[in-house]
């Protein structure tokens, strides 16, 4: 199937305006464009008959497409490694990690951020998710929120982002104005900036280019334009890598054990006991007693058990 192309000269600013050939970009915009339609918007040749496929065949089709994701991400492993290093350095020097996105991208950022306090005993402000439209956008669409460049910038201002921090903008097509507003303001404040998108054909003017652009090619979605599918899954995989390996780099993991988890419920307290037993060799009762005396802090319990 022939690829659908955009006119080569068409450029789009932060606010979604089309910039005419030869015309300067309007003030406050960045002429982000590409010579072809983003893969996230192309029609997938294997799913043209999705509405007529037998259910089992449709399931196999979707899973076979997801199976391609690790290969697409492995092709970008050097840039993913750079992203992990940027996050780890920021956390090591007292900075914070911010995820910024709209829709599915924003929700996935909030999800990853919300998992860090129980998993790594981090303060809630260390890793933060910013979603266009605010809290309401977590469970329903907030119309027009992703098109507000100024709101993205104000979100960064409100959180006092500084040169110690790193801001990861997540936008499947690479064009979301809210995300670009946040990235531009973060860069102006000296923070490290990362764009995670799935449009390898994106063209970004050098003055506005983030410190790192991650643009794996995961191809078109089975349901055209529905980036909650492969793009969403790939986003989740990359954010998992960012926070997990950055936390490994900051000493919150020993072997493959979460030694800084926050045992806030029965399941996690049982896990904490197992971790202490694995690392110290003591029996269950001794491990539990050490944790209780240490306020259920694994590292402190380990110090108590040292001979």
Per the annotation, the verdict on 78 as an active-site residue is no
Compute CA 116 distance to the chain's CA centroid, rounded to the nearest angstrom. Answer: 13
Report the percent of the chain where pLDDT is more than 90. 85
The predicted pLDDT at position 20 comes to: 39
Q: Which CATH number fits domain 253-305: 3.40.190.10, 3.40.50.2000, 1.10.8.1080, 3.30.70.260?
A: 1.10.8.1080
Query: At residue 29, does pLDDT exceed 70?
Result: no
Per the annotation, the verdict on 42 as an active-site residue is no
Q: What's the mean pLDDT in 263-287?
A: 96
The predicted pLDDT at position 30 comes to: 56
CB atoms within 10 A of CB 67: 9
One of 146, 185, 292, 300 is an active-site residue; which one?
A: 146
pLDDT in tens, 171-198: 999 999 999 999 999 999 999 999 999 9
One of 42, 65, 81, 115 is an active-site residue; which one?
A: 115
Taking the C-alpha atoms of residue 100 and residue 169, their distance in angstroms, rounded to an integer, is 5
What Cα–Cα distance (Å) separates residue 101 from each residue in 16, 53, 131, 178, 195?
Answer: 16, 33, 5, 7, 10
Of 231 and 31, the structure prediction assigns the larger pLDDT to 231
| Whether the Cβ atoms of residue 57 and residue 218 lie closer than 8 Å to each other | no
pLDDT in tens, 67-112: 999 999 999 999 999 999 999 999 999 999 999 999 999 999 999 9
Which stretch of 32-41, 142-151, 222-231 has the lowest confidence by average pLDDT?
A: 32-41
The predicted pLDDT at position 80 comes to: 98
pLDDT in tens, 106-144: 999 999 999 999 999 999 999 999 999 999 999 998 989
pLDDT band at 273 (very low <50, low <70, confident <90, very high): very high
Q: What are the φ/ψ torsions at residue 134 (nearest 5 degrees)? A: 75, -165
Q: CA quadruple 238, 242, 248, 252: dihedral positive or negative?
A: negative
The predicted pLDDT at position 19 comes to: 35
| DSSP-based three-state secondary structure for 296 | coil
Taking the C-alpha atoms of residue 169 and residue 197, their distance in angstroms, rounded to an integer, is 8
Taking the C-alpha atoms of residue 27 and residue 20, their distance in angstroms, rounded to an integer, is 14
Report the CATH number of the 65-249 domain: 3.40.50.10490
CB atoms within 10 A of CB 57: 12
The predicted pLDDT at position 143 comes to: 81
Q: CATH 1.10.8.1080 region(s) of the chain? A: 253-305
| Whether the Cβ atoms of residue 10 and residue 23 lie closer than 8 Å to each other | no
pTM of the complete model: 0.88
Q: Both tokens of residue 45?
A: 């040749």
pLDDT band at 307 (very low <50, low <70, confident <90, very high): confident
Compute CA 238 distance to the chain's CA centroid, rounded to the nearest angstrom. Answer: 6
Q: Both tokens of residue 99?
A: 């995820």
Query: At residue 4, does pLDDT exceed 70?
Result: no
pLDDT band at 34 (very low <50, low <70, confident <90, very high): low
Helix (H) / strand (E) containing 302: helix 298-305
Q: CATH 3.40.50.10490 region(s) of the chain? A: 65-249
Strands 212-214 and 32-33: unpaired
The predicted pLDDT at position 7 comes to: 35
pLDDT band at 306 (very low <50, low <70, confident <90, very high): confident
pLDDT in tens, 211-250: 999 999 999 999 999 999 999 999 999 999 999 999 999 9
């Amino acid at each position: 199937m022939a690829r659908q192309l955009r006119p080569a000269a068409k450029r789009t600013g932060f606010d979604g305006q089309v910039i005419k050939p030869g015309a300067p970009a309007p003030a406050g915009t960045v002429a982000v464009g590409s010579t072809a339609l983003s893969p996230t918007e192309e029609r997938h040749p294997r799913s043209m008959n999705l509405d007529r496929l037998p259910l089992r065949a449709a399931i196999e089709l979707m899973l076979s497409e997801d199976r391609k994701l690790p290969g697409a991400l492995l092709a970008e492993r050097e840039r993913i490694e750079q992203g992990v290093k940027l996050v780890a350095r920021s956390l090591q020097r007292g900075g914070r990690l911010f995820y910024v996105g709209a829709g599915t991208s924003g929700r996935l950022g909030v999800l990853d951020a919300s998992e860090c306090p129980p998993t790594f005993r981090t303060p809630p402000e260390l890793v933060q998710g910013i979603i266009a439209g605010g809290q309401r956008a977590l469970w329903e669409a907030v119309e027009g929120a992703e098109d507000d460049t100024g709101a993205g910038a104000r979100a960064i201002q409100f959180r006092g982002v500084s040169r110690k921090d790193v801001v990861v903008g997540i936008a499947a097509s690479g064009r979301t104005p809210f995300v670009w507003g946040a990235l531009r303001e973060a860069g102006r404040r000296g923070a490290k900036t990362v764009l995670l998108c799935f449009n390898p054909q994106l063209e970004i003017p050098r003055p506005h280019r983030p410190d790192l652009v991650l643009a794996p090619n995961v191809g078109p979605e089975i349901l055209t334009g529905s980036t909650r599918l492969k793009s969403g899954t790939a986003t989740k995989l990359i954010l998992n890598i960012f926070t997990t390996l950055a936390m490994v780099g900051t000493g919150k993991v020993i072997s493959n054990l979460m030694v800084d988890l926050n045992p806030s419920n029965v399941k996690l307290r049982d896990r904490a006991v197992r971790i202490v037993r694995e690392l110290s060799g003591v029996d269950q009762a001794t491990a539990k007693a050490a944790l209780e005396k240490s306020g259920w802090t694994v590292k402190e319990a380990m110090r108590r058990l040292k001979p």
